[in-house]
Structure 1
Amino acid sequence: MYIGLDLGTSGLKAVLTDDHQAILAEATAPLEVQRPASGWSEQNPSDWLRAAEAVMAELGAGQDLGAVRGIGLSGQMHGATLIDKAGDVLRPCILWNDTRAYAEAAQMDADPAWREISGNIVFAGFTAPKVAWVRAHEPETFARCDRILLPKDYLRYWLTGEAVSEMSDAAGTSWLDTGARDWSDRLLAKSGLSRAQMPRLVEGSDVSGELRPELAKRWGLAAGVVVAGGAGDNAASAVGMGVVNPGQAFLSLGTSGVLFAASGAYQPDAPSAVHTFCHALPGAWHQMGVILACTDALNWYARLVQSDAQTLTAGLGALQAPSETVFLPYLGGERTPHNDPAARGAFAGLGHATDRSAGTRAVLEGISFAFADCHDALRSTGTQIDSLVAVGGGSRSDHWLQMLATVLDLPVDVPAAGDFGGAFGAARLGQMAATGAGAEIATPPPVDRRIDPDTKLQAAFSDAHARYRAVYSALKEAL
């Protein structure tokens, strides 16, 4: 048996799997985000530990955990958890969606060394600019900082007593030499830090430590349970969905949107705003196009017209030619390909005939075109996508999936019912660490159905995509 723990922003999820990767039990504990100032987003790491106690107690209440051999970890990326020499947390963790460090990020990104070594733009959401903000605004805290840990790695520190991270999560800090899969002493020095303040690095499928005996006893686990390196949330989800080989990809239609493609080589292109990170498995990398408002944009529109997303999409029927109305989904800036935190959403081409249904289609089209821009950015780096799996809340709309298939010119596979997300991928990594298994156990889920592009509408959607780009360019120029 194996346990996967996925430390998300809104909750910690745990799954228990058997040797055949069937899910035997699952549990979730909620988490809250504190926003003490505009643009700030923080959590208290002590809340993560309470959540872990809660989910482990729930798993143990229904299952005998004595046969558990490995635990895998997944979680939200980019968070800055600062601890002192005694291992105590110095301040609340600054989360991935905290934007206070935009000035520090811009200053770092202006230095070519950061993109050259890390392979990525220094986004305000990454870890390094957050620590630079602490250095500038909370110097006493920075001076006491003995170790910097990512959220799931602080959970590991509590589980094992080991300060360890792994390649996929470390790549989102801006301190990793992503091609070499090692910390960059040069970039750390630019932050006033040293390698001694960084966690030891392992691969996601490696053993990072053993569960502390007192926790094993409290939760009913045997001695010697190993804890795998694990992965950042998207890389763990990719392991759960079997997206581990070149040509494989998944489309995540959640609050934000991700087009994730596995790669067997390191091929960064920072100016494209594509994220180039290490994958959770040795010798593998991945690339992501990221849009900041996916179902979040649809839910915003639903509130605007006093409805809900499911009601709006349920009545759309078969795919039609694109709307004359253009929607830009940049409600809070955009990452790929624009790297434009000042970008904002817009409707253009409104007319007397524009009703709620037309507005819904325009919103779905705008988000789809944002994904198409991500796809173009990925292809510009040489990344090829041969198969695409859709996951997330938005994947429940076949209308939207056919629109995406048509815009991306790729068939979209919908997996059979089941949970193949970060916690499941983490459990797979725990199984790899405990048994020595490799990528062969990271198989794709069974496909429920395949949705093909509508070839008759592709030319019309291509023209609409061109209008979408023109509207963004005009709006940027005007503002």
Structure 2
Amino acid sequence: MRARPAWPWAATCSRARIPRPWPGPSPRWCTTVPVSRTPSQSSEDDPVSAAGSEGRLGGSTTEVVLGLDTGTTSAKAHAVDRSGRILATANSDPIATRSTPEGGSEQDPDEIWQAVAAASRSAAGALGAGVRVAALAVAAQSGSVIPVEPNGRATRAVTWMDTRSQAVVESWSPDVAERIRAVSGWAPAPGAGLPTIAWLQAGSPGQGGEGSPVPVDRWASVDDYLMFCLTGQWDTNPSNAAGMQLMDIGTCSWSPELCRLAGIDQGALSPIRESGTVAGALTGEAAAALGLEAGTPVVVGGHDQACAALGLGVADPGDLFLSAGTAWVLTLVTDHADVAALPPGLNLSPHVVVGRWSASTNLGGLGALIAQSPPERAAAVFETCARKVGEALEAAGEMAAGGAAMVVVGGGTRFGELIEMIADATDRPVVTRPDASWPAVGAARLAAAALGWTAPEAEG
């Protein structure tokens, strides 16, 4: 069974420090996406001008917020106005990932930054005259580690897909592993910051983890690296800090105990600031790169999955959503950070909404399985995917009780038969959302909250 899609902001955020849902549950939401171009495409024509004219009064400037989504494969940008309409959207060229036979997966931090800048320039260029970006925020991938050398150089990002820290994880006793999960909310696994940093500390990155370590002045994630590029200061947020597996989930502060286990000083980590607050202003150099005005407020963003949840309106206890892309991730919202009560297989992170946490599990590369399977095997593959979702919800126990509708986004939503199977396997309504970069939408919403924008009146 499939439920009729609800408007994205139907969920309430009463305990959040975010004005009650912005944008409002209005039929106008997400109905106007007049431009979608990569940086290589021309912006001479301005198809957004007609759509944006509704928000202008007597030729006055229309304000928008810019949400930037920095995923593993590319960067995306959404410019959103006060009513919640996406006025412009843009994608960067793909970000190259260098893989090695021993399980390495690395990206160039500067290429990540250039992708963000390109997406922003393209979206900003599509807005045309009379539209101004009033603030921006970033949704970023989590778990990837960027070592910053004493000279300020950041030459590599060891991504969350890197498995070279497997031996480090296996070296920890069950008691140590249990303690790591109890403090951080995450079970030890390759791809999280803690084991990656411990592995890098053990040897030279250029020699596969053997030899003398390269001196490191700061251990950053993609999130705080981009914040530095934007504002000139290092800042991160609780949902991204959780992916470093060095944060105390109960206090949302760096854990001295876990930092000692990684072999680093907590002073080498960026300050953790609350999502939806202003971190600083766009520097002149960054503004030129992004095609924006210097001094534009830069708002603390969040982990891409947490921002996607906010963008989808998944913010109340019992809400859940499935990201059915190449990798499938199931996220459930709770209002307590009780790791001891967390079922096995779930990791706990702060939501970008204050007073909420996200329990999530990675169901693996089911999207890749679908893409690589011949058409005649589609039904069997769909059944396998649906069964895995059902099993994950069953394992979640009381956290998934109540039968709330599950929001599904990503490439999997293109297959109606698959969505029907998921609804049957989970015995709950399934709501699909239109194609959009939902992390960018959530980041835009955080930027709007920092400006004090409130929801427009819902239309009848």
TM-score (norm 2): 0.78
Higher helix share: 1
Q: Does 1:81 align with 2:146?
A: yes
Superposed displacement of residue 218, structure 1: 5.7
* Secondary structure in 2 matching 1:205: coil
Spell out the pairing of 1:219-298 with structure 2 (5 A cutoff).
219=290, 221-268=292-339, 269=341, 272-298=344-370
Superposed displacement of residue 286, structure 1: 0.9
Shift of the 280–108 alpha-carbon distance from structure 1 to 2, 3 Å rule, reads farther
Superposed displacement of residue 214, structure 1: 3.2
* Secondary structure in 1 matching 2:191: coil
Indicate the residue corresponding to 1:27 in structure 2.
90
**Which whole-Å CA distance do the structure 1 matches of 2:85 and 2:124 have between them?**
17
**Which whole-Å CA distance do the structure 2 matches of 1:215 and 1:151 have between them?**
16
* Secondary structure in 1 matching 2:147: strand
Indicate the residue corresponding to 1:203 in structure 2.
274
**Which whole-Å CA distance do the structure 1 matches of 2:223 and 2:265 have between them?**
21
Q: Does 1:8 align with 2:59?
A: no
Shift of the 293–382 alpha-carbon distance from structure 1 to 2, 3 Å rule, reads closer
**Which whole-Å CA distance do the structure 1 matches of 2:287 and 2:378 have between them?**
51
Structure 1 residues 102-135: Cα deviation after superposition (integer angstroms, max 9, x where no partner): 1112334631321221122111111111111111
Retained in 2: the 8 A contact 1:109–1:122? no
Q: Does 1:124 align with 2:142?
A: no
Matched letter for residue 448 of structure 2 = Q
Indicate the residue corresponding to 1:136 in structure 2.
202
* Secondary structure in 2 matching 1:291: strand
Fraction of identical pairs, as percent: 28
**Which whole-Å CA distance do the structure 2 matches of 1:203 and 1:56 have between them?**
23
**Which whole-Å CA distance do the structure 1 matches of 2:343 and 2:318 have between them?**
22
> What is the aligned counterpart of 1:93 among 151, 157, 160?
157
> What is the aligned counterpart of 1:423 among 428, 440, 443?
440
Retained in 1: the 8 A contact 2:120–2:291? no
Superposed displacement of residue 39, structure 1: 1.5
Shift of the 133–215 alpha-carbon distance from structure 1 to 2, 3 Å rule, reads same
Superposed displacement of residue 224, structure 1: 3.0
Indicate the residue corresponding to 1:188 in structure 2.
259
Superposed displacement of residue 270, structure 1: 5.8
Shift of the 382–49 alpha-carbon distance from structure 1 to 2, 3 Å rule, reads closer
Ranked by relative contact order (alpha carbons within 8 Å, sequence separation 6 or more), the top structure is 2
Matched letter for residue 135 of structure 1 = Q
Retained in 1: the 8 A contact 2:227–2:234? yes
Indicate the residue corresponding to 1:410 in structure 2.
428
Matched letter for residue 238 of structure 1 = A
Spell out the pairing of 1:375-454 with structure 2 (5 A cutoff).
375-379=393-397, 386-415=404-433, 417-419=434-436, 421-435=438-452
Retained in 1: the 8 A contact 2:121–2:291? no
Superposed displacement of residue 420, structure 1: 5.2
**Which whole-Å CA distance do the structure 2 matches of 1:124 and 1:214 have between them?**
36
Indicate the residue corresponding to 2:136 in structure 1.
71
Shift of the 220–55 alpha-carbon distance from structure 1 to 2, 3 Å rule, reads closer
**Which whole-Å CA distance do the structure 2 matches of 1:109 and 1:12 have between them?**
39
Structure 1: state its 5+ residue gaps.
303-311, 313-355, 444-479
Structure 1 residues 338-368: Cα deviation after superposition (integer angstroms, max 9, x where no partner): xxxxxxxxxxxxxxxxxx3xx3222111111
Q: Does 1:39 align with 2:111?
A: no
TM-score (norm 1): 0.75
Indicate the residue corresponding to 1:334 in structure 2.
none
Matched letter for residue 105 of structure 1 = V
Matched letter for residue 361 of structure 2 = G
* Secondary structure in 2 matching 1:286: strand
Shift of the 146–117 alpha-carbon distance from structure 1 to 2, 3 Å rule, reads same
Shift of the 380–101 alpha-carbon distance from structure 1 to 2, 3 Å rule, reads farther
Structure 1 segments, 4+ long, off by >6 Å, are: none
Superposed displacement of residue 287, structure 1: 0.8
Superposed displacement of residue 75, structure 1: 1.7
Superposed displacement of residue 84, structure 1: 2.1
* Secondary structure in 2 matching 1:200: coil
Matched letter for residue 280 of structure 1 = V
* Secondary structure in 2 matching 1:290: strand
Retained in 1: the 8 A contact 2:125–2:291? no
Retained in 1: the 8 A contact 2:76–2:437? no
Indicate the residue corresponding to 2:250 in structure 1.
179
Please tell me the root mean square deviation across aligned C-alpha atoms, in Å: 2.3
